[in-house]
Structure 1
């Protein structure tokens, strides 16, 4: 098991944290959500982004247009691979 801040975490940093707010993904406000282009950002950042620009947004990574479901950001697919990688790299359950 690797400790936070170790070389293993830095190697997976692009997968373990939101590239907008730089927080580690979690099961709450920083829950990892897939956009249709398969880039992943935390629920909180996407919610704030949608409040500013509406339900049709550009992916912050690739600029492809993504339509947010009527049910909101929570309805986007959660990226469960992030949780699996966290358990391997950081020892999270």
Structure 2
């Protein structure tokens, strides 16, 4: 968890009203707003571990007072750093504001935008990797489909040639049958009259 002061679903900092941190029976914590949005048919599936919990009301999930105290302390530290910077003291950027470099596939380096949380930046990177994998998978599937089309074309050509041979064989059998009938008629004619 890169930013424990944020709900990992909406990536918004917990507060003491709409986004109070609440703990599920599985131990994971999310804001009140997200819990309400994730509740369906009196059931809530944890976004982290996928455990299912009964959710008849928001009161099913207790407020995490320890997390609220942590968030207050965190905000106070941020305010002190900001005030220190205004008074000429060196400023320390909060963790969510630090630049983060990531090497891309082409070897170039991409900087995390200063307003973007580490969690969101990480999710973005995961999405990019997932898309790359899907593109590679699609390219492999396309290659296999191309090979299959080539094989089907070859099979069709072989079938066409076999069909020609069957037609030729059928024609020859008709000619052979005609010759046999003529021979039978000649033998019958020789036996009867001579």
Q: Distance in 2 between matches of 1:41 and 1:32?
A: 5
Relative to its length, the structure with more helix (as a share) is 2
Q: Which has the larger radius of gyration?
A: 2
The aligned counterpart of 2:42 is 55
- TM-score, with normalisation over the residues of structure 1? 0.72
TM-score, reference length from structure 2: 0.37
Classify 1:30/1:76 alpha carbon distance in 2 versus 1 (closer, same or farther; 3 Å): same
User: Within 2, Cα distance between the matches of 1:25 and 1:59?
Assistant: 18
Instruction: In structure 2, list runs of 5 or more residues that go unmatched.
Output: 78-194
Aligned partner (choices 26, 49, 60) of residue 37 of structure 1: 26
User: How much does 1:22 deviate?
Assistant: 0.8
The higher-RCO structure (CA 8 Å, 6+ apart) is 1
Distance in 2 (alpha carbons) for counterparts of 1:64 and 1:21: 19
1:1-93 equivalences in 2 (<5 Å): 13=3, 15-50=4-39, 53-68=40-55, 70=56, 72-91=57-76
Alignment match, 1:3: none
RMSD of aligned residue pairs (Cα, Å): 1.9
SS across alignment from 2:36: helix
Contact 1:43 1:74 in 2 (8 A): no
| Structure 1 gap ranges (5+) | 1-10
Aligned residue pairs, count: 77
